């Protein structure tokens, strides 16, 4: 179903459906604005048509599409991701970015041949994976995309100081590291956290081919250690009951495992007795359950998950350091499709529905919870 929105003479049609895809922002920089060509309308048009058409061919060859341009900046997307196990589709996105960097000199030769136009000096490329909303915009109803993945990828691109590099967001990296072949072909260098807000950090990574000489030099520096270590076998956090310790060596959470089940539940409450109670209610249903008392550990744990499909997070509202509302906001910044169930002793149903967008009455439960209602609610949300 499509919804219309009119603003002036422009019309936008939004769909009710959201989809997941790869988003790319590409900025090309040159000295065009510092030359006399900037005042020559015909030459300026020739410059942009040459660069954008050349980039468009590379993007199209790798099954991507340019959505729109903002002067020297392009927004692209790649939609071939109906199956997250489709390694080739993810590799095409990587190759698209690398091919753009590697073909820069070819584009520059073409620019020089055409009336000695200024060359492209630098590219800034950011790529991420996430949820987008499709819309038809303008009088001609051109495809446009909106959503958290677009906003985050744009902010990462705007904050980049490095030139002629590809920076990917953590959502994209988390999927790529699940493919051994991709980890064999490319190196991922920790680029630090991009500050979404003052309190929310989002990891980013620089990606290069493994035979890149510059990368080999960087590997000698411990500060630029690559993430090829992700190829090593990671311990199964759900293999046995375990404890997570904080810096003070205090017990922070408990992990439990049920084999051969895909549905995952994370329970967050600063009362360990409550965690044991909720786990006992759910233990016979075959869910993969993680119980945590520390909201900060919860966010780090979520970021490291391979995917967010069939994931439910059960949150207490009143917790120390970070309340359930704040934690909910940060979880949704990781992926807005993650399912949430609030459990609280507070009688604030109407307030929660007002404060938290997208939450229904069925996603809020009062303490003490009734076992049957609790398990049925969890089952309904996950199904």
pTM exceeds 0.85, yes or no: no
Percentage helix, strand, coil, to 5, in the chain? 40, 30, 30
Is 17's pLDDT higher than 70?
A: no
The CATH 3.40.50.2300 portion of the chain extends over 242-382
Q: In this structure, how many other beta carbons lie within 10 angstroms of the beta carbon of residue 301?
A: 18
231: left (phi over 0), alpha (psi -120 to 50) or beta: alpha
The CATH 3.30.70.1230 portion of the chain extends over 2-231
What is d(CA 102, CA 99) in angstroms, rounded to the nearest whole number? 5
Question: For residue 155, which phi and psi values (nearest 5 degrees)?
Answer: -65, -40
Is 251's pLDDT higher than 80?
A: no
Looking at the domain 2-231, which fold is it? Answer: Alpha-Beta Plaits (3.30.70)
Question: Chain centroid to CA 118: how far?
Answer: 35
32-77 confidence digits (pLDDT tens): 765 666 567 788 888 888 999 999 999 999 999 998 888 889 999 9
Is 300's pLDDT higher than 80?
A: yes
The CATH classification of domain 242-382, taken from the options 3.40.50.150, 3.30.70.3270, 3.40.366.10, 3.40.50.2300: 3.40.50.2300
Question: For residue 201, which phi and psi values (nearest 5 degrees)?
Answer: -105, 145
Given pLDDT bands bounded at 50, 70 and 90, which one contains residue 7? Answer: very low
């Amino acid at each position: 179903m499509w919804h219309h929105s009119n603003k002036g003479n422009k019309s936008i049609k939004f769909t009710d459906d959201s989809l997941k895809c790869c988003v790319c922002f590409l900025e090309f920089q040159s000295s065009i604005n510092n030359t006399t060509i900037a005042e020559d309308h015909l030459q300026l048009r020739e410059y942009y048509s040459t660069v954008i058409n050349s980039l468009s061919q590379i993007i199209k060859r790798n099954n991507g599409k340019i959505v729109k341009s903002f002067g020297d900046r392009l927004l692209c997307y790649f939609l071939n991701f109906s199956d997250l196990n489709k390694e080739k589709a993810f590799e095409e996105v990587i190759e698209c970015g690398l091919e753009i960097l590697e073909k820069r000199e070819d584009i520059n030769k073409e620019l020089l041949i055409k009336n000695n136009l200024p060359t492209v000096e630098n590219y800034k490329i950011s790529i991420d994976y996430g949820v987008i909303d499709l819309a038809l915009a303008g009088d001609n109803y051109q495809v446009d995309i909106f959503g958290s993945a677009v906003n985050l990828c744009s902010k990462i691109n705007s904050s980049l100081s490095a030139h002629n590099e590809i920076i990917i967001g953590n959502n994209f990296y988390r999927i790529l590291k699940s493919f051994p072949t991709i980890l064999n072909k490319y190196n991922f260098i920790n680029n630090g956290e991009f500050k979404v807000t003052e309190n929310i950090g989002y990891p980013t990574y620089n990606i290069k081919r493994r035979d890149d000489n510059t990368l080999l030099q960087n590997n000698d520096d411990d500060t630029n250690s690559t993430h090829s270590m992700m190829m090593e076998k990671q311990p199964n956090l759900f293999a046995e009951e375990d404890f997570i310790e904080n810096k003070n060596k205090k017990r922070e959470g408990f992990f439990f495992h049920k084999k051969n089940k895909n549905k995952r539940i994370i329970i967050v409450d600063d009362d360990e007795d409550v965690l044991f109670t909720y786990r006992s209610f759910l233990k016979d249903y075959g869910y993969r359950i993680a119980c945590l008392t520390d909201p900060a550990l919860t966010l780090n744990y979520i970021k490291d998950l391979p995917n967010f499909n069939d994931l439910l997070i059960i949150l207490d509202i009143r917790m120390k350091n970070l309340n359930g509302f704040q934690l909910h906001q940060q979880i949704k910044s990781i992926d807005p499709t993650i399912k949430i169930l609030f459990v609280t002793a507070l009688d604030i149903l109407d307030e929660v529905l007002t404060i938290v967008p997208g939450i229904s009455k069925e996603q809020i439960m009062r303490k003490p919870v009734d076992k049957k209602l609790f398990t049925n609610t969890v089952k309904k949300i996950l199904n």
